Structure formats: C-alpha cells, structure tokens
Amino acid sequence: MNTLRLRSVSAVLGIALCSALLAATGAAADKVDARSRAIHESLLTLDTHLDTPALLSVPGWSMLDRHSVVADGSQLDLPRMIEGGLDGGFFATYIGQGPLTDAGRAAARDAALVRLQEIHQLVAANPKTFEIAYTAEDGPRIAATKKRVVYLSMENGYPVGQDVSLLTTFYKLGVRIAGPVHFLNNDLGDSSTDPKGPVWHGLSPLGKEYVKAANRLGILLDASHASDEVLEQLLELSKAPIVLTHSGTKAVYDHPRNVDDEHLRRLAAKDGVIQIYAYSDYFVPHPHPPEREAAIAALRKKYAGQRSRAQMEAQTRELAQVDAKYPIPRGTFEDFIAHLLHAVKVAGVDHVGIGLDFDGGGGVAGLEDATDYPKITARLLKEGLTPQDLAKIWSGNVLRILKKAQEAAAQDPAG
Ligand SMILES: [Zn+2]
C-alpha cells in the first residue's frame, strides 16, 4: 500500500482511486508469444507485494470472482491470477501508520489480527484452490499441486506497538516477511517519506529488538518504505539477508521510495534482494493541480467509511471521470522494465525480483492487473535474460533468502 494521499481514508478508497487512474489512461500492448507464455507457465511465479487482502472484508467482493480494474478498481483475483500465470505471492497485511498512542497501537494490532484471520478464512474455505506457505520449500510444493501459493507478509511494524514479542504471534499466524515502517516514522524507526525527516536516524532501540526477534523467528525483514539509514542498519544487524518487497531504483527516477546504486550494491553484498514495483508516482513526476485535488478530496469525503462492492464500482466510475477531466502523467511498462533492468545491472540477477504493489496503488500503463504478468516474462526474454534468470527473478531469489532466514533462525540458540 503506497497511497500516501489516501492514508487517512479506507484502504478501499485508496485502491479504487489509484486503479481508476490506471484504467483511464489505457495500456500499451506488449504481445506475448507462445514460447514466452510457455516459459512463463513453467516458472514458479510469485509477486512479493500483493495488497489484495484489503479487499477481503468488502461485502460482495470475492477473490473467486473475476473483477476488472475498470469496473471496481481491483487488480487481482483468482481468475486473473490463472489468466496471468501467477502462482501466488506474499499477501500483505497492511496497516497504515496512525498515532503513536496505546489506543492507536492496540487498534493496529487488532486490525492486523483481523486481516490475517480473513486470509486464513479464505484459504480454509477453498482448500483445493489456495494453500498457506510457511517455508521456502512450501512454495514450489504447493504450486506443483496447481493450488495458489499464499505466503503472508506484514507491511508496517506498527501492529507490534512497543512489544516486539507480538511478532511471535504474527509468525504463528504465518507471517514470513515483515517491514518496520510505512509512510511515517514510528516506534521502530524512520520512514523514507516522513515529511518531518528522521527522528531515530535509523532504527530505534526497539527497532533493533524487532530485528533480533525477526531473526530468531526466521521472518525476512523488508526494507521497502524504510529510510536509507534503516536499510544500512538492517544490513549491519540482521543475521539473514534483507528483502525490499516493492521498491524501485533512484538512478532511473529520483524519489525517496527508490534506492540508489550504492545501497543496491550493499544489499546485494549481503545477499539481499530488491523486488521491483510498478508504481506510477515513483516513476514519473506526480503533480497536484488544485482542481484535481479538490475533486478527489470531495470523492474521498463522499465515500469515506463506505465498503461495499457497489460503492467501489460507483467510486471507480467517478474517479475515472475526475482523471479524464484533470489528467496527470502516468508511469508505463517501459518505466517498470527500466527499473528492473537497472537493478539487474547494478545488483546482479541473483538480487532482483518482482513486487508490483497491485491493489496497493501499483499498476502502470501496460501493467494494469494480474493478467499482465506474462508481458514481463516475454519482455525480459527479449532483453536477453534466460529462462534460468527468470526463474530467479520470479521466485528463486526471494525463496533463497527466505530459506537462509529460516536456517539462521533454526541455528539461533535463543530461538
Ligand atoms: Zn507499500
């Protein structure tokens, strides 16, 4: 989830807005030839940042039904995963940063527990279709049975509040990737995008305990959204490699959410992996014309607190009208490819993967929803990458370091 300007309203509102913008601007078709499609289908394909769980509580919205970006703004469901040859991924429990108070922390904890419960309910109700993956080995095993692979992740450490032992609870519920921060600084450390700038200059003392707890459990630490200082300290302190589940490269587009070459090299030197997102605001300049902002604010107010499929659809239509009236530049599939290829060039093919941020504000022209994943395979083959390279990018790299995190935890005397 990356929709800063919508953080104060419901997740659904944020999702619908961004997706409506995507739908309105159309897509450049990238043809997928039969050989590329066959290679794509042969690979274990995992996206490391899927915000779709935010939709599970919407009355009338089902993961089993086919939806569309144009109709309701959503970007992923079972039929579209099948069409897009996506075996699964890391389904995020995203909790936006709220007040650093006891009440705020407790509400974040409870919201995370509810969201995890919803994901478990989906899987339990459809045991022939989905399976929760707990280990690095589970992903390939589950995909071989033709079920969708559901790894769990947590975006923002806010739900642990000031008690990192809660990470054990989340681990027991299946969380295998967790990041300390989101858009704003919190009890654990500094965000890359807090307008106030750094308060801890990296991780807080509690954040360092969070790192130890994650290492003991075998949870991969996620440095997406974290400040550079946090990334540096994670690389220094963590006994396991670090992942960035959804990020981009600063050399291609200079934004605080993107990572510079020096940090990419340091990440790779510790065997870490950067998963590239498809996020327009971090690919191209994002202007804020006042008329557009006012129209969006009015819609935000109109739909605040509303959560049904019919409301999602109505809101998506109205947002598309706003976008048509006040268009702004939008990132493209070509931008995504440029970030990915740059990361491969600098960090190496063993240290790059894919985490598009669908249903969290992700999606660019030409990479609109889950049906578009095969375009990535086709294009990377055209760029000269081999099927072996693609196997790494599509899952091999992240599962390699998840395995390392789990092995390091198994050897931890305190574990
Ligand atoms: Zn995010």
| Residues 150-178 pLDDT 10s | 999 999 999 999 999 999 999 999 999 99
Question: How many Å lie between the centroid of ligand 1 and the Cα of residue 413?
Answer: 33
Q: Domain of residue 60: give its range.
A: 4-410
Of 91, 66, 94, nearest to 81 (Cα)?
Answer: 66
Question: How many Å lie between the centroid of ligand 1 and the Cα of residue 224?
Answer: 7
What's 166's DSSP letter? H
Question: How many Å lie between the centroid of ligand 1 and the Cα of residue 48?
Answer: 11
Question: How many Å lie between the centroid of ligand 1 and the Cα of residue 34?
Answer: 33
Question: How many Å lie between the centroid of ligand 1 and the Cα of residue 277?
Answer: 9
Question: How many Å lie between the centroid of ligand 1 and the Cα of residue 360?
Answer: 7
Question: How many Å lie between the centroid of ligand 1 and the Cα of residue 155?
Answer: 7
Task: Find how far residue 24's CA is from the centre of its chain.
Answer: 22
**Cβ(278)–Cβ(309) under 8 Å?**
no
Angle between helices 290-303 and 309-325 (to 10 degrees): 170
β-strand partners of 259: 249
**Cβ(247)–Cβ(275) under 8 Å?**
yes
**257 vs 253: CA distance, rounded Å:** 10
- Taking residue 303's Cβ as centre, other Cβ atoms within 10 Å add up to 21
- The pLDDT value recorded for residue 45 is 98
Question: How many Å lie between the centroid of ligand 1 and the Cα of residue 221?
Answer: 14
Question: How many Å lie between the centroid of ligand 1 and the Cα of residue 246?
Answer: 7
Task: Report yes or no on 187 lying in a domain.
Answer: yes
Question: How many Å lie between the centroid of ligand 1 and the Cα of residue 101?
Answer: 22
Question: How many Å lie between the centroid of ligand 1 and the Cα of residue 51?
Answer: 9
Domains in the chain, number: 1
CATH number for 59: 3.20.20.140
Question: How many Å lie between the centroid of ligand 1 and the Cα of residue 259?
Answer: 14
- The pLDDT value recorded for residue 30 is 61
pLDDT in tens, 7-43: 222 333 444 344 444 443 334 456 799 999 999 999 9
Residue with tokens 């690095």: 136
Question: How many Å lie between the centroid of ligand 1 and the Cα of residue 358?
Answer: 10
Q: What is the DSSP string of 291-311?
A: HHHHHHHHHHHHHTT---HHH
Question: How many Å lie between the centroid of ligand 1 and the Cα of residue 80?
Answer: 22
- The pLDDT value recorded for residue 3 is 40
Task: Report yes or no on 84 lying in a domain.
Answer: yes
**23 vs 414: CA distance, rounded Å:** 50
Residue 99 CA: distances (Å) to CA of 109, 198, 204, 412: 13, 17, 17, 34
**Cβ(83)–Cβ(322) under 8 Å?**
no
AA letter at 236: E
Question: How many Å lie between the centroid of ligand 1 and the Cα of residue 414?
Answer: 31
Question: How many Å lie between the centroid of ligand 1 and the Cα of residue 387?
Answer: 29
- The pLDDT value recorded for residue 415 is 58
**139 vs 283: CA distance, rounded Å:** 31
**343 vs 250: CA distance, rounded Å:** 10
Task: Report yes or no on 415 lying in a domain.
Answer: no
Task: Find how far residue 224's CA is from the centre of its chain.
Answer: 9
Question: How many Å lie between the centroid of ligand 1 and the Cα of residue 181?
Answer: 9
Question: How many Å lie between the centroid of ligand 1 and the Cα of residue 303?
Answer: 22
Residue with tokens 């993107």: 258
Task: Report yes or no on 225 lying in a domain.
Answer: yes
Residue 370 CA: distances (Å) to CA of 85, 247, 355: 8, 18, 12
pTM, two decimals, is 0.93
Question: How many Å lie between the centroid of ligand 1 and the Cα of residue 86?
Answer: 20
Question: How many Å lie between the centroid of ligand 1 and the Cα of residue 257?
Answer: 9
Helices (H), 73-195: 78-83, 102-125, 138-144, 166-172
**Cβ(141)–Cβ(198) under 8 Å?**
no
Question: How many Å lie between the centroid of ligand 1 and the Cα of residue 295?
Answer: 25
The b-or-e profile of 220-259 (16+ CB within 10 A means b, else e) is: bbbbbbbbbbbbbbbbebbebbbbbbbbbbbbbbebebbb
Could you tell me the sign of the dihedral formed by the alpha carbons of 238, 243, 248, 251, in that order? positive
Taking 70 as the pLDDT cut, the residues of the chain under it are 1-30, 414-415
Interior angle at CA 362, CA 361 and CA 364, nearest 5: 125
Question: How many Å lie between the centroid of ligand 1 and the Cα of residue 33?
Answer: 32
